[in-house]
Amino acid sequence: MRLGVLDVGSNTVHLLVVDAHPGACPLPAHSHKAELRLAQLLDPDGAIGTDGVDRLISVVTEALQAAEDKGVEDLLPFATSAVREAGNADEVLARVRAETGVELTVLTGADEARLTFLAARRWFGWSVGKLLVLDIGGGSLEIAYGIDEEPDAAVSLPLGAGRLTAGRLPGDPPDPDDVRALRRHVRTEIARTVGEFSRFGAPDHVVATSKTFKQLARLTGAARSAEGLYVQRELKRSSLESWVPRLAAMSTAERAELPGVSEGRANQLVAGALVAEAAMDLFGVETLEICPWALREGVILRRLDHMGQE
């Protein structure tokens, strides 16, 4: 069957269309994206303003039309941290439902971590052993660890690249004092969770998902996305550490000129790099591998599993 996943994230609204059936690898058929940056549209009270909701409804309507055009028979719509943590989340969901007919399922942070972990486990298989998965989104950082398909530990922290940029790095380029303060904040938040994972022992394999990690890997020498999903891509902490101060000294326009960095994400790359560096350092990770599958694929795989049980 042709499935569609509508992901209302903190940076983008992304429709992924796949051809899939239980027991088979989902095959991408179409992708439709719109940058919305909900994490940066919150008012001082933490609510999504009227303009932001209007834009969200417009983008969801466009995605629905794209899904119809591509023959999607089952649409799985969900929202993550930007909607989940908005002060007016219930009102936003109600308006989306009333004006588009779409009932967004709001995932918890732990749900995000577990589903992303499932996708990574299916991608790499059982042979990689104990798996640590890191995922930096626009609104949150997810960390999950385990040896099965359900992680032994899964947490979500409010350390998304978009959220941190909007709230803590106002300058362009950012003020060095702001960068240092953000570095301290990020490391303090992550350090509080390390013990929850370390009691399970060292992972056998560490992987990362998300656009932020992919861009950082590309900056440090990984293959271009045009070379395909099956090319191994790695990020080394030593290489990342050398890039962090360079990124912090650049303007958004200068970062956008770097290989693999999109114009829409260039402004939040410093915050993302600080989170990635801190996570790798505090979890003792020298090298990690980039996983092509992430949350959207996890949602699809969970749906296929349920279909196989019906």
28-59 pLDDT, tens digit per residue, is 999 999 988 887 777 878 899 898 999 999 99
C-alpha 196/C-alpha 205 separation (Å) is: 18
Rg of the chain (C-alpha set): 19
Q: Give the residues across from 141 on adjacent strands.
A: 136, 157
| Neighbouring C-alpha atoms within 13 Å toward the C-beta of 9 | 27
C-alpha 90/C-alpha 81 separation (Å) is: 14
C-alpha 138/C-alpha 151 separation (Å) is: 22
CB of 17 closer than 8 Å to CB of 2: yes
C-alpha 117/C-alpha 113 separation (Å) is: 6
Write down the pLDDT at residue 307: 79
**pLDDT tens readout for residues 264-275:** 899 999 999 999
Write down the pLDDT at residue 310: 58
C-alpha 293/C-alpha 28 separation (Å) is: 11
Write down the pLDDT at residue 1: 86
Query: Which mean pLDDT values do the consecutive 10-residue runs of the chain (310 residues) have?
Result: 93 93 89 86 84 94 97 96 92 97 96 97 97 95 97 96 93 97 98 96 97 96 92 97 98 96 93 98 98 96 81
- Encoded amino acid at 237, one letter: R
Write down the pLDDT at residue 40: 73
Write down the pLDDT at residue 21: 85
Write down the pLDDT at residue 308: 63
Element (H, E) at 77: strand 74-79
